[in-house]
Structure 1
Amino acid sequence: MAVPETVTGAGLRLGLARALERLAQQRDRINDLNVFPVPDGDTGTNMHLTLAAALAEANLLPAQASVAQVAQAVAHGSLMGARGNSGVILSQILRGVAGGCATHDQMGPEVLARSLREGAEVAYRAVKRPVDGTILSVVKDAAAAAERAAADGRTTAEVLQAAVGEAWDAVERSRELLDVLRQAGVVDAGGFGLAVIFSALVEVMVGSDDIAVPALSRAGSNGARPGPLGVLATEAPASGFGYCTEFSLVGSELEPMEVRARLGSEAEDDSALVVGDPGLMHVHIHTQEPWEVLTRAAELGKIERLKVEDMTTQHHEARLRVGAGNSHEGRLALGVVVVAPGFGFHQLLLGLGAAAVVEGGQGMNPSTEDLLRGIEQAQATQVLLLPNNPNLILGAEQAARVSRHEVSVVPSRNLPQGIAALLAFDPDARLEVNRQRMQRAMGEVHAVEVTRAVRASQYQGGPIAKGDVIAVLDGELVAAGQDLTEVVVAALSRLPIDSLEVVTLYRGTSVQVGDSELLEAKIRARFPNLEVERHDGGQALYAYIISAE
């Protein structure tokens, strides 16, 4: 076929569709490379989800849309769907590209080179302290190569090929520019993902079915690196990595830099990104106290598309996944996959026999793709899936339908139900026997979920002010007030106390250990016949998740 002279709107869409396919193929490899800024093993997944959101927005346009229209839709879709540090930076690269071709129906050599340059510049401006050896270096060097090729009078395809070649060279150089990459014996994951995207664009433009990803060396300038590579070469600090907290901020009249300043010291972290424009911004922050960040953000505008992920748990699971992949051990016959928030819950559930735990909870439901990844991590031929949230049951059933494994959903509606179901699991029994046994166990436990109201409202007990403590018992709001202890005791009073034996408190990140000890004492005094246990759940948003059985 003849190579097109320009990149059209239709051509850009086709190229990004191919890029999405290539990212899906390389996703696990990119995840395994992920050691910077946090070794949480999700860069490939985040870039894939971000590009999927971008392409979905572009596909709403008519077939004859110009390259400027497609690029603008891609930029907006990627901003709304950005996931993780790498996804947010990718969205800013796409935003800059859209700016570079904003007045053009097609991209020729000069416009393509200028658009890549603007993509690099916008991405650099989004990061407070840009670091060499990352996705930023890759896009900067690729843009420079494109500019040189355009200045030499090369065709559009040749300009793009020059950018791709330099992108892969920059990926190879990344380990020598960033100590953490050199120590782990890997290249930068985000840069690798960006080079995959650029390569896919070349595939479509020149009519190739596949341009092979280069076999990057596993050695630096000093020869092969001994020992474990990638995430296996990293350890979590004693304090953990904190929580990756992301959301859209809608309605704020402030500029992104002003929003960053208002969000507190957490926003000073190198991983903190606040991008977009007044009225619609995407916020990405790594913090030990997500509730504090969200409280400040709620004063600036409306929070939408909230996602909070425990990076310490992600790091642990990434190490398990890579280790299992390297061990060549056989698969389990039957395993349980559980959705839960917080490192404490993850450790508890894995200790109780879960084959894999997927990060998620109220307000931060995992996607179908996240669930499918958890199912794969279980390394089991058959899987029982516990969603632990009524809003996730349909998504879990969708994941079960499309998974290549046999998956049965046990429709748990909260974490206490999920824990009860997991305790009833017998790995030697058949899937259907386990499903019925686990479902019966779920009916024998009550759940109290304690959080704060995000807006003023009403319930049967009276008015609720914004910021009040509220308690939800088995899905029904039963108590509200300003004193957390009083609200918890009021909620527990609604239970059939005489038929219960044990109350278990799972403490969230917003609660100090001493405060949970005081609550335990208060419950023991009020209900002397109940046994009370305490655990660190590590969940955001909910001060306590309480099980009663």
Structure 2
Amino acid sequence: MPQPLDAAAVRRWCRIALDVLGSAREDIDAINVYPVADGDTGTNLYLTVESAAQAVEAADTARPTLAQAVRAMAHGALIGARGNSGTILAQLLRGMAEVLAAEPEPAGPEALRRALRRAARSAHDAVAHPVDGTMLTVATAAADAAERAGDRVDEVLAGACAGARAALAATPGQLPVLAEAGVVDAGGSGLVAVLDALDAAVSGRAPDASIRDRLARSPAEGGAGERHPAAVCPAPAATEPRGFEVIYLLDADDDAVAALRRRLDALGDSLVVVGGEGLWHIHIHTAQPGAAVEAGIEAGRPHRIGISALATAVAPRPPRGPRAVVAVLPGDGLAGLCADAGATALTVRADEPPGAGELAGAILGTGAGEVVLLPNDHALWHAAAAAAERARSDGTRVAVVPTRSPMQGIAALAVHAPERRFDEDVVAMTAAAGATRFGELAVAERQSWTTAGICQAGDVLGLIDGDVAVIGEDLGDVAGQVLERMLAAGGELVTLVLGAEAPHGLAAALEDRVRGAHYGVDTVVYEGRQGAPLLIGVE
């Protein structure tokens, strides 16, 4: 059933877009051939949306209105924008926010049409030399199609998504570099994913799962689509990249930006200047990074400055220290346990999951040339993969073991052997994690449907491998049922990790249960002090 376009829909949009881009990130990176074939468009879009989603979730604590939610989204995207594509996406979101923030809640179809049009125009204006066959083309096509669509918000979104997909398929016929590579535009593909996520958030439909099918499209297959020019300037002749990518945030008066644009335009290409109301995000490819920053200093106050080499193979740095393991953990007791085993522990709260930037910082903070990352939560997989990509660009060799629970992380860490070759160590840790079943006890916050039936607020939920298997009223009884179900498939070692509010005697009762009914099964108990009352691992 269609949902209103309100603050809740904006939150859903960000979450769905983050998940879809996380799944498609590597595929989009692989087709990144324009404007620079540096294979990071998918990662940059993911990191930009991650920053937007975090800003919206932070605003959620104050029960925001639609205006507050879209402004938070736009601001988060602006300050976290990465690369050429992420910077353009930030301006697209800002353009939509400018319209939706001025509308009553929920926004109607006409407001959505205007928002999509404002987004396309403002992004086009932000790019110094717009080119056909890019995400600008896709944005314009979405706005065009929205104006021809039906009279409901979900119909407008369905039309916009269809128009965007058609424009994406046509991009190889507009940019020769895409036709030569046999792919569609990477930034445009990411924008289609973001629009599909908004459609899913409002319509209730699942987001389009055919992203990979859209990525490699020959000009003949894509050329039948209608041409939606996003620019009046022809594509420039192909040139070699000009040395460095420079990005920074800039505090500056709006009237100082026009002169800054002119000066930066003379210094390089791929210039994008987005923002407004005193805060701007600058992106440029240039052979003179110092001059690009100096131009910002003359216009205002640049900060969060990033300079990285373009299109030049950089040899990985030699190992700067012994191999390291970074483990994300929900409690200080678990963190201490893993630190004693030689890992770098990143302690987090369940309601404040780390972003890719924080994970990348933890990886690079080890000072090691080889790092194994244990996310220990399936919801962190995309952020972990993006963090690994960022760390690799710094010359660090990183592998992410797909641990879905701290229990799998403990099992992986138990077989870690830094004297082995890196690949062999990662394989052994992955195998140990995969051989560990994990359970968890939680308390329901509200009535909801689960895989075990309907639960009420205050019910004790017993989860096995991430799915609710038992619903009950007594924590000890539910814990016993979960443990018995997990041991029914066999096991040699049971690990119990007690949460901060685990009742006294729970561990002893479960140990007695294992000794009495499961001969030969050992039990170990740890004080994890995590939020969940109990974590269970069976190896």
TM range (shorter): 0.5 to 0.7
Query: 1:349 is matched by which residue type in structure 2?
Result: R
Structure 2 residue 174 is the aligned partner of structure 1 residue 173? no
What is residue 56 of structure 2 aligned with on the other side?
58
The answer on whether the counterparts of 2:189 and 2:215 sit within 8 Å (CA) in structure 1 is: no
SS of the aligned residue for 2:209 comes to coil
- Superposition pairs for residues 349-364 of structure 1, below 5 Å? 349=317
Q: Alpha-carbon deviation of 1:204?
A: 2.4
What is residue 227 of structure 2 aligned with on the other side?
none
- The 1-side partners of 2:109 and 2:191 are apart by 20
What is residue 120 of structure 1 aligned with on the other side?
120
SS of the aligned residue for 2:5 comes to coil
What is residue 257 of structure 2 aligned with on the other side?
256
Query: 1:11 is matched by which residue type in structure 2?
Result: A
Structure 2 residue 144 is the aligned partner of structure 1 residue 144? yes
SS of the aligned residue for 1:129 comes to coil
- Name the CA shift for 1:396/1:66 in 2 (closer, same or farther; >3 Å): farther
Q: Alpha-carbon deviation of 1:251?
A: 4.2
The answer on whether the counterparts of 2:170 and 2:219 sit within 8 Å (CA) in structure 1 is: no
**2:181 aligns with one of 177, 181, 184:** 184
- The 2-side partners of 1:294 and 1:169 are apart by 39
- Name the CA shift for 1:246/1:434 in 2 (closer, same or farther; >3 Å): same
Q: Give the TM-score of the pair, scaled to structure 1.
A: 0.55
SS of the aligned residue for 1:275 comes to strand
C-alpha deviations, 1:295-326, integer Å up to 9, x for none?
Answer: 3323333221111121224xx4xxxxxxxxxx
What is residue 130 of structure 1 aligned with on the other side?
130
- The 1-side partners of 2:217 and 2:265 are apart by 40
SS of the aligned residue for 1:299 comes to helix
C-alpha deviations, 1:16-65, integer Å up to 9, x for none?
Answer: 21011100000001111111111111111111111111121122224642
What is residue 28 of structure 2 aligned with on the other side?
30
SS of the aligned residue for 2:274 comes to strand
The answer on whether the counterparts of 2:182 and 2:218 sit within 8 Å (CA) in structure 1 is: yes
Structure 2 residue 34 is the aligned partner of structure 1 residue 44? no
Structure 2 residue 163 is the aligned partner of structure 1 residue 195? no
Q: Alpha-carbon deviation of 1:132?
A: 1.0
Q: Alpha-carbon deviation of 1:223?
A: 7.2
- The 2-side partners of 1:219 and 1:397 are apart by 37
The answer on whether the counterparts of 1:371 and 1:399 sit within 8 Å (CA) in structure 2 is: no
SS of the aligned residue for 1:90 comes to helix
- The 1-side partners of 2:421 and 2:208 are apart by 46
What is residue 95 of structure 1 aligned with on the other side?
94
Query: 1:119 is matched by which residue type in structure 2?
Result: A
Q: Give the TM-score of the pair, scaled to structure 2.
A: 0.56
Question: Which is worse superposed, 56-65 or 72-81?
Answer: 56-65
- Name the CA shift for 1:181/1:40 in 2 (closer, same or farther; >3 Å): same
What is residue 110 of structure 2 aligned with on the other side?
110
Q: Which runs of 5+ in 1 are unaligned?
A: 225-236, 317-345, 356-366, 375-384, 410-414, 419-428, 436-549
Query: 1:137 is matched by which residue type in structure 2?
Result: T
The answer on whether the counterparts of 1:17 and 1:55 sit within 8 Å (CA) in structure 2 is: yes
Query: 1:212 is matched by which residue type in structure 2?
Result: A
SS of the aligned residue for 2:302 comes to strand
- The 1-side partners of 2:200 and 2:265 are apart by 45
- Name the CA shift for 1:56/1:373 in 2 (closer, same or farther; >3 Å): closer
- The 2-side partners of 1:128 and 1:67 are apart by 31
The answer on whether the counterparts of 2:27 and 2:215 sit within 8 Å (CA) in structure 1 is: no
Identity of aligned residues (%): 35
C-alpha deviations, 1:221-272, integer Å up to 9, x for none?
Answer: 4579xxxxxxxxxxxx9976511110011245643222122446215x2x11
- Name the CA shift for 1:244/1:371 in 2 (closer, same or farther; >3 Å): farther
What is residue 479 of structure 1 aligned with on the other side?
none
Q: Alpha-carbon deviation of 1:431?
A: 1.6
What is residue 315 of structure 2 aligned with on the other side?
347
